[in-house]
Amino acid sequence: MRVSIYKKLREIPDGYLGVLSIIFMLIPIIYPMGLPLQISEPTRGFYNTLRNLPEGSIVCIDGGGGFASLDEFESSITATMKVMLSLPIKWFAWGYSADGPILMDMVLKKINPDSFGKVYGEDYLVLPYIAGGEMAVASVASDTHNVATNDYYGNDLTQYPLWDELTGAEDFALVITISGSCLNMDQETRQWYTLYDIHLLEINMACCSPMSMNYFPDVMPGGLWGVKGGTELEVLSGFPGPGARLSDTQNLALMPFLVFLILGNIGYFGSLYLTKEEDM
């Protein structure tokens, strides 16, 4: 009795799946592909919203996310920081997750805000992690001065001129939310848009875009999801970053998933409808 091709397609050993996936991921690292990108509407909205902020506007950054998924949104955060530092606006970030402020600090050290002519405490501030999840968002929105006394670096906040300008949601022109949760936009909308009519921009993982699209473009005029979002902003803003290289890797890393999904289904349908009984 011979085994049908369809049955074989259903039973590819796990090792082959792993080896093929790794090969696909290695190809763009050895041979960068540099494929052209089509800028999506949420990225365009993200960029335009930042560009259209009036001079002196204050942006609040709810800095969440974690290091485990940093590869997904490092390019987005880096490109966003560069765009914001190049504009005549002010911003502050606070830690929505424990990793948030550390991540923000690392990105800032890499891009060096001084080179953009920005001064810490006058143009931007980094606050520490504030525990409480959605409750922390509500606290920052209702009474910013009450949530922290020192910045992330342990310095007294009262010495910074920007701190005097941050009393609550009424002072903020926009909120940028960074998260690794697909329910992020639900709670951010509840605390910022519903209560204070403040629009949001989101930076999140690629898999969360279907949930976040609920809020585009009325509540959230733009969003960057996954490496693709970051790479698009790099292209749109003219600030190159790590996105292009990661984008190539993602290109081929997702390929095995698609290939095996299709192969598995060909095998399933083939063994169901096209296989003779003696071949089973």
Partner 1 sequence: MSREVRRTIPLYLIMGLTIFFLIEYFADITAITGIKSEITVWGTIVSGFMLIFGAVLLFRHHFMQLAVRNVGQREKILSVIFFVSFLAFLLIGFSTPERTSGTNYQWIYQNMYRPAGTAITALCFWWCIYGGYKVFTIRSWESAAIGVGAVIYMLRLLPIGPVYVPALAPFADWLLSTINVGATRGGTLAIGAGSLVLGMRTLIGKETGALEAVQEG
Which chain residues interact with partner 1 by CB under 8 A? 12, 14, 17-18, 21, 33, 35-38, 40-41, 66-71, 101-102, 105-106, 130-133, 135-136, 138-139, 142-143, 146-147, 152-154, 186, 206, 209-211, 213-214, 216, 226, 228, 231, 247, 250-258, 260-265, 268-269
In the complex with partner 1, which residue's Cβ is closer, 56 or 143? 143
Comparison of 95 and 239: residue with beta carbon closer to partner 1: 95
User: What does the DSSP assignment read for 216-270?
Assistant: TTTT-SEEEEHHHHHHHHHHHHT---THHHHHHHHHHHHHHHHHHHHHHHHHHHI
Q: Give the nearer residue to partner 1 in terms of CB position, either 122 or 143.
A: 143
Which amino acid belongs to residue 190? R
Single-letter amino acid code for the residue at 4: S
Q: How far is the CB of 112 from partner 1 (least distance, A)?
A: 15
Torsional class of 112: left (φ above 0), alpha (ψ -120 to 50), beta (otherwise): left
The letter for the amino acid at 31 is: Y
Output the smallest distance, CB 139 to partner 1, in A: 5
Question: In angstroms, what is the minimal distance from the CB of 67 to partner 1?
Answer: 4
For the chain, list the strands marked E by DSSP.
58-63, 90-95, 124-129, 174-178, 200-204, 222-225
Least separation in angstroms between residue 218's CB and partner 1 is 11
- Largest CA-CA distance found in the chain, in angstroms, rounded: 83
Q: How far is the CB of 158 from partner 1 (least distance, A)?
A: 18
